[in-house]
Chain A
């Protein structure tokens, strides 16, 4: 029961005026970012991370986690009223949310989405609180080979389950890792990869330079390029009595909510999977197991509840490996992990024993943020609908400005701002050709952990790579990672065989 008292202390810490204010602001900003098409939690967290240097690390983390939470709620607003997902995590919400809105029941869809999100978040929070301390305790015994094997697993899930073009995914991972190696070699102290002998590369490439470049500049250009048509908006009629009635109807969506909450959490834990596949899978499973699957896609409230419960649940799930193992489960948590390093915290299993004052308020804030997000969402739906009318031609320049100011503030070097622009333009050009960029962002964060562990492991074994296979914990992890990497190849071979025999 020690966990409960620690959690209670954590929740109490969230009610300190500063933290409470940050949660409130974070959730509201997150709701807005999530609702704006083209902006998701990762954009918000990457662009606003430099702004959090103002407050202590714990409060900063609480603020960013609140944005993450809010964005998961917010995505549904534009999926339902505009018919275009506010963030990739809310793609599945459009399937049934939009038809409901077109039938004049936008309020029902919005309320169901909010309540399902709350339930999904709550279930995930409880699972998180239960799983995190024992997992961290087990992970305490991990040495360099185990940690490297986990890194390998994180990258392998991108290759095996990411669903993107495989050579492009691997290329993206390697590019991120190479970029993270720029600057001084931590083991020998030798400067390396100083491109064109520009001294700006001596201090390495900060992960924020890549993250803001990709998500603040590249992604924005891509959104401007791809959303050209005028969007029609369905208004929602919001009154207290309608909201109450809608909340009552939501009870009928218990099946979608339960499936979404449970499935989302476990999919969220997998690195690379995160909330987007989590919500799509939850929708799929709910539809598959339904009594009347033909109702889905035409405005079923279960179809709204499942993906919304799942994306909130998955975002908490993604936090689990990030907090306990130091391995992010989604691009957003990768950025959060990078932030923890900037604040001088060492991510990994020791966090629970060494930094309880950091971990428990963060966990507590998940509960508080979840509740506040529900309340803010339900109370201010009309306000968010009004803000969604803000033209992109006003929002876009402000985001570009914030990105550049944030990029400068992170390292205070103009060299990095130029580099950020190059990454942004390159990200835009690569994105059109289906190059996934999230693996690169994850890799630049993990690179400084992966390389030393690899080298230390090889030193332990005198250069024998078998060390990753013959240790009791590292071995199975490596095997699973290798299977995931070769999974697409096996599938390809299998398809070939079947074609031949047919």
Chain B
């Protein structure tokens, strides 16, 4: 936990510096730092607000690091593991599953990915019966389709499964 606290503070500090640099970079080709200045008659430039906020973020990171050195915050004193074995396995299985879900949307669309994800989670991770897994995995996309595509006219991505939906479009849309 102690190492994680320091690493997180450093990562956030790098992020703040990146934000500060990016705030000063004008997309209109003015020199660096032009946008964070107070312009006479125009008020603060477009990068003024995010620049100073990121600067405060950087200061907070320094503050967190000072607390870390002084062991003033609970995570910097904790001798517990940041993520124990269970946590890591959980993150890989669940976080990885969600990532794969989003990745799959690009190929087999929202509905295909949803079905695969639900079967993976309920049957393989949750160790429920195949009947439970399949019924939820098929009921959810049906409900979602009627709610989003049909009722709200928000067309969810279909990926390579698009042809399968054409008859449904003919009926409901």
Chain A interfacial positions (CB closer than 8 Å to B): 51, 53-54, 165-168, 170-171, 174-175, 177-178, 181, 185, 187-188, 190-195, 217, 221, 224-225, 228, 391, 393-394, 396-398, 400-401, 404-405, 408-409, 412, 414, 417-418, 421, 424-425, 428-430, 432-435, 451, 454-456, 458-459, 463
Q: Which chain A positions have C-beta within 8 A of B106?
A: 414
A417 close to B19 (CB less than 8 A): no
B23 close to A217 (CB less than 8 A): no
**Interface presence of B10 (CB below 8 A):** no
Q: Which chain A positions have C-beta within 8 A of B121?
A: 393, 396-397, 400
B110 close to A408 (CB less than 8 A): yes
| Shortest beta-carbon distance from B14 to chain A in Å | 13
Q: A397-B122, A455-B49 are in contact. Are A405 and B114 (CB under 8 A)?
A: yes
Which residue of chain A is the closest to B83 with respect to CB atoms?
A: A432
A458 close to B43 (CB less than 8 A): yes
Main secondary structure of the interface of A (DSSP, over half): helix
A174 close to B8 (CB less than 8 A): no
Chain B positions 89-136 with a Cβ under 8 Å from a chain A Cβ = 90-91, 94-95, 98-99, 101-102, 105-106, 110, 114, 117-118, 121-122, 125-128, 132, 136
Main secondary structure of the interface of B (DSSP, over half): helix
Which residue of chain B is the closest to A406 with respect to CB atoms?
A: B148
Contact of A397 among B12, B38, B61, B118 (CB under 8 A): B118
A221 close to B27 (CB less than 8 A): no
List 29 contacting pairs A-B, 8 Å CB cutoff, sorted by A: A53-B152, A166-B63, A171-B61, A174-B56, A181-B53, A190-B28, A191-B27, A193-B19, A194-B27, A195-B22, A225-B83, A225-B87, A391-B126, A393-B122, A393-B126, A394-B136, A396-B94, A401-B114, A404-B114, A405-B110, A405-B144, A405-B156, A408-B105, A409-B154, A409-B156, A414-B102, A421-B99, A428-B95, A433-B4
Which residue of chain A is the closest to B141 with respect to CB atoms?
A: A401
Q: A409-B154, A414-B105 are in contact. Are A192 and B126 (CB under 8 A)?
A: no
A404 close to B101 (CB less than 8 A): yes
Contact of B45 among A51, A188, A393, A459 (CB under 8 A): A188
Q: Which chain B positions have C-beta within 8 A of A166?
A: 63
**Interface presence of B160 (CB below 8 A):** no
Which residue of chain B is the closest to A463 with respect to CB atoms?
A: B38
Which residue of chain A is the closest to B114 with respect to CB atoms?
A: A401
Q: Which chain A positions have C-beta within 8 A of B50?
A: 177-178, 181, 192-193
B114 close to A175 (CB less than 8 A): no
Which residue of chain B is the closest to A435 with respect to CB atoms?
A: B8
Q: Which chain B positions have C-beta within 8 A of A404?
A: 98, 101-102, 105, 110, 114
A417 CA / B105 CA spacing, docked (Å): 10
Q: Which chain B positions have C-beta within 8 A of A451?
A: 49
Q: A398-B140, A414-B106 are in contact. Are A193 and B22 (CB under 8 A)?
A: yes
Q: Which chain A positions have C-beta within 8 A of B46?
A: 185, 187-188, 190, 192
A20 CA / B115 CA spacing, docked (Å): 33
A393 CA / B91 CA spacing, docked (Å): 14
A394 close to B74 (CB less than 8 A): no
Chain B, 67-101, contact with A by CB distance < 8 Å: what is the 0/1 string? 10000011100000011001100110011001101
A483 CA / B170 CA spacing, docked (Å): 63
A424 CA / B77 CA spacing, docked (Å): 26
Chain B interfacial positions (CB closer than 8 Å to A): 1, 4-5, 8, 12, 19, 22-23, 26-28, 35, 38, 42-50, 53-54, 56-57, 60-61, 63-64, 67, 73-75, 82-83, 86-87, 90-91, 94-95, 98-99, 101-102, 105-106, 110, 114, 117-118, 121-122, 125-128, 132, 136, 140, 144, 147-148, 151-152, 154, 156-157
Extra contacts, 5 of them, besides A193-B19, A432-B83, A454-B49 (Cβ < 8 A), are: A165-B73, A190-B26, A190-B28, A414-B157, A424-B98
Q: Which chain A positions have C-beta within 8 A of B101?
A: 400-401, 404
Q: A195-B22, A401-B114, A458-B44 are in contact. Are A412 and B8 (CB under 8 A)?
A: no
Q: Which chain A positions have C-beta within 8 A of B95?
A: 221, 425, 428
B56 close to A433 (CB less than 8 A): no
Contact of A190 among B27, B44, B118, B144 (CB under 8 A): B27
Q: Which chain A positions have C-beta within 8 A of B144?
A: 401, 405
| Shortest beta-carbon distance from A339 to chain B in Å | 15
A401 CA / B98 CA spacing, docked (Å): 9
B152 close to A175 (CB less than 8 A): no
| Shortest beta-carbon distance from B96 to chain A in Å | 10
| Shortest beta-carbon distance from A221 to chain B in Å | 6
Q: A190-B26, A228-B86, A409-B148 are in contact. Are A53 and B154 (CB under 8 A)?
A: yes
A400 CA / B100 CA spacing, docked (Å): 12
A178 close to B19 (CB less than 8 A): yes
A178 close to B132 (CB less than 8 A): no
A433 CA / B9 CA spacing, docked (Å): 10
Q: A221-B94, A455-B49 are in contact. Are A192 and B43 (CB under 8 A)?
A: no
Contact of A178 among B54, B99, B114 (CB under 8 A): B54
Q: Which chain B positions have C-beta within 8 A of A400?
A: 98, 101, 117, 121
